[in-house]
Chain A
Amino acid sequence: LPTRPVDRDKAEAELILNIKKATSPEETAPKQKHVRKCIVYTWDYHSSASIWTGLKVQPILADEVQTFKALITVHKILQEGHPVTLKEAQQQVGWFDTCARTVGNDGSKGYGQLIRSYVAFILSKLRFHRHRPEFNGLFEYEEYISLKGIDDPNEGYETISDLMNLQDQIEQLQKLVFAHFRHSANNECRISSLVPLVKESYNIYRFITSMLRAMHRRTNDQEALEPLRSRYNSQHHALRKFYFECSNLKYLTGLINVPKLGTEPPSLFDNGQTPDLP
Chain B
Amino acid sequence: MSLQHMGKGALRVAKNYTKGYSDVQAKVRDATSNDPWGPSGTQMNEIAQLTYNQNDFVEIMEMLDKRLNDKGKNWRHVFKTLTLLDYCLHAGSENVVIYFRDNVYLVKTLKEFQYIDEDGKDQGANVRQKAKDITNLLQDESRLRQERRSRANMRDRMTKGGSTS
Contacts and interface: CB of A to CB of B under 8 A. Distances in A.
Interface of A: 2-5, 31-33, 36, 39-40, 43, 80, 142-143, 195, 254-256
Interface in B111-141: 111-114, 122, 125, 128, 139
Given A33-B72, A142-B139, A254-B125, A3 B112 contact: no
B151 to A, nearest CB: 23
Contact of B110 (A5, A31, A36, A142): A36
Interface in B91-113: 99, 102-103, 105-106, 108-113
A254 B71 CA distance: 19
A261 B63 CA distance: 42
A36 B112 CA distance: 9
Nearest to B125: A254
Contact of A5 (B62, B72, B128): B62
A39 B110 CA distance: 11
Contacts, number: 43
B105 A40 contact: yes
Given A33-B72, A40-B105, A142-B139, A5 B112 contact: no
A80 B65 contact: no
Contacts of A5: 61-62, 65
Contacts of A80: 105, 108-109
B113 A32 contact: yes
A170 B79 CA distance: 34
Interface in B60-77: 61-62, 65, 69, 71-72
A32 B113 CA distance: 7
5 contacts: A4-B61, A43-B105, A142-B139, A255-B114, A256-B112
Interface of B: 61-62, 65, 69, 71-72, 99, 102-103, 105-106, 108-114, 122, 125, 128, 139
Given A32-B114, A254-B125, A255-B114, A4 B103 contact: yes
Q: Which 9 pairs from chain A and chain B are nearest by CB? A: A36-B109, A43-B105, A32-B112, A5-B62, A32-B114, A39-B109, A3-B102, A142-B139, A4-B65
Nearest to B98: A3
B104 to A, nearest CB: 9
A120 B102 CA distance: 34
Nearest to A38: B109
Given A3-B103, A5-B65, A40-B106, A255 B139 contact: no
B59 to A, nearest CB: 10
A254 to B, nearest CB: 6
Contacts of A143: 139
Contacts of B114: 31-33, 255
A142 B110 CA distance: 19
Contacts of A195: 112
Nearest to B104: A43
